[in-house]
Structure 1
Amino acid sequence: MFEAVIMACLVADPALCRPVLLPGYEASALAACEAALADRPPVPTLAEGIERGAITCQPIGPVARVEEVAAGVFAHRAVISDAAPENGGDVGNAGFVIGGDSVAMIDAGGAAQVGEALYRAIRAKTDLPVSHVILTHMHPDHVLGASVFAAAGAEVVGHAGLSRALTDRAQTYLDNFGRLIGKQAFIGTRVLLPDVTVESSMSLDLGGRVLELRAWPSSHTGSDLTVGDVTTGTLFTGDLVFHVHTPALDGSVLGWQSVLADLRGIEGYTQIVPGHGGPVLDWPDGGGALAGYLDVLVDETREAIARGDSLAEAVEKVATGEMSKWELFDLFNPRNATVAYTELEWE
Structure 2
Amino acid sequence: MFEAILTICLLTDGGACRNALLPGYEATTREACETALAASPPASLPEGQAPSGPECKPVGASLDFEEVAPGIFVHRGQIAEPDRDNRGDVSNIGFIIGRDSVAIVDTGSARWVGEAIWRAIRARTDLPVSHVILTHMHPDHVFGASVFAGTGARIVGHAALTRALADRQENYRESLATLIGPSELLGTAAVAPDIIVQDSMQIDLGDRLLELRSWPIGHTGTDLTVLDQKTAMLFTGDLIFERHLPALDGSLGGWQAVLTELAGLPATRIVPGHGGPVLDWPDGSAAVQRYLKILENDTRAAIDAGRRLGDAVSDIAASEAPRWQLFEAFNPRNATVAFTELEWE
TM-score of the two chains, using structure 2 as the length reference = 0.98
* Greater mean deviation of Cα atoms: 37-46 or 325-334: 37-46
Aligned to 2:226, the other structure's residue is in SS state: strand
**Aligned equivalent of 1:200:** 199
Distance in 2 (CA, whole Å) between partners of 1:52 and 1:132 is 31
Q: Secondary structure at the match of 1:108?
A: coil
Q: Does 1:344 align with 2:342?
A: yes
Q: Does 2:42 match 1:50?
A: no
Residues 233 and 270 of structure 1 are in contact (CA less than 8 Å); yes or no, is this contact kept in structure 2?
yes
Q: Deviations over 1:110-139 (max 9, x none)?
A: 000011111111111111000110000000
TM-superposition CA deviations, 1:254-296 (whole Å, max 9, x none): 0001101111122x21000000001110100011110110110
The aligned counterpart of 1:287 is 285
| Pairwise CA distance, 1:312 | 0.7
AA aligned opposite 2:126 = D
Measured in 1, the distance between the counterparts of 2:109 and 2:28 equals 29
Map of 1:111 onto structure 2: 110
Q: Which amino acid aligns with 2:68?
A: V
Structure-2 residue corresponding to 1:328: 326
- 1:152 counterpart SS class: coil
Q: 1:276 aligns with which of 268, 274, 277?
A: 274
Query: Is the 2:143–2:188 contact (alpha carbons within 8 Å) kept by the matching residues of 1?
Result: yes
How far does the alpha carbon of each residue in 1:188-232 deviate from its partner, in whole angstroms, 9 at most, with x for none? Answer: 100111111111001011111110000000000000000110000
Q: Which residue is 1:21 aligned to?
A: 21
Give, in angstroms, the shift of residue 12 of structure 1.
2.7
Deviation sequence 1:133-191 (CA, Å, 0-9, x none)? 00000000000000011122211100000011111101101111122111111101001
| Aligned ranges 1:207-226 → 2 under 5 Å | 207-226=206-225
Paired letter, 1:272 = I
- 1:312-335 CA-partner distances (Å, limit 9, x unpaired): 112110001101111010000000
Question: Following the alignment from structure 2 to structure 1, what is the Cα–Cα distance between the partners of residues 114 and 194?
Answer: 18
Runs of 4+ in 1 over 4 A off after TM superposition: none
Equivalent AA in structure 1 for residue 32 of structure 2: A
Aligned equivalent of 1:71: 70
Residues 11 and 51 in structure 1, CA contact (< 8 A), matched pair in contact too = no
Aligned mates of 1:24, 1:95 — CA distance in 2? 20
Counterpart code for 1:156: I
**What is the match of residue 234 of structure 2?**
235
Root mean square deviation of aligned Cα: 1.1
Shift of residue 13, structure 1, vs aligned partner: 4.6
TM superposition shift of 1:54: 1.6
Cα deviation, residue 40, structure 1: 1.3
Amino acid at match of 2:174: D
Matched-pair identity in %: 57
1:173/1:131 Cα in 2 relative to 1: closer, same or farther (>3 Å)? same
TM-score (norm 1): 0.97
Aligned residue type for 2:36: A
Give the drift of 1:14.
5.9
Alpha-carbon distance between aligned partners in 2 of 1:3 and 1:188, rounded to the nearest angstrom:
17
Task: State whether residues 114 and 145 of structure 1, in contact with CA within 8 Å, keep that contact through their aligned partners in structure 2.
Answer: yes
Cα shift at 1:11 = 2.1
Deviation string 1:18-46 (CA, Å, 9 cap, x unpaired) is 11000001112222211211211113333
2: CA distance, partners of 1:274 / 1:51: 37
Number of aligned residue pairs: 345
In 1, are the aligned partners of 2:6 and 2:50 still within 8 Å (CA)? no
Counterpart CA distance in 1 for 2:9 and 2:319 is: 48
Q: Tell me how far apart the structure 2 counterparts of residues 116 and 321 of structure 1 sit (CA, whole Å).
A: 41
Q: Report the Cα offset of residue 51 of structure 1.
A: 3.5
Opposite residue 328 of structure 1, the aligned amino acid is L
- Is 1:22–1:44's contact at 8 Å kept on the other side of the alignment? no
Tell me what 1:83 maps to. Answer: 82
SS in 2 for 1:184: helix
**Cα deviation per residue 1:40-88 (whole Å; 9 max; x = unaligned)?**
11133332x5335221111111110111111001111001111111111
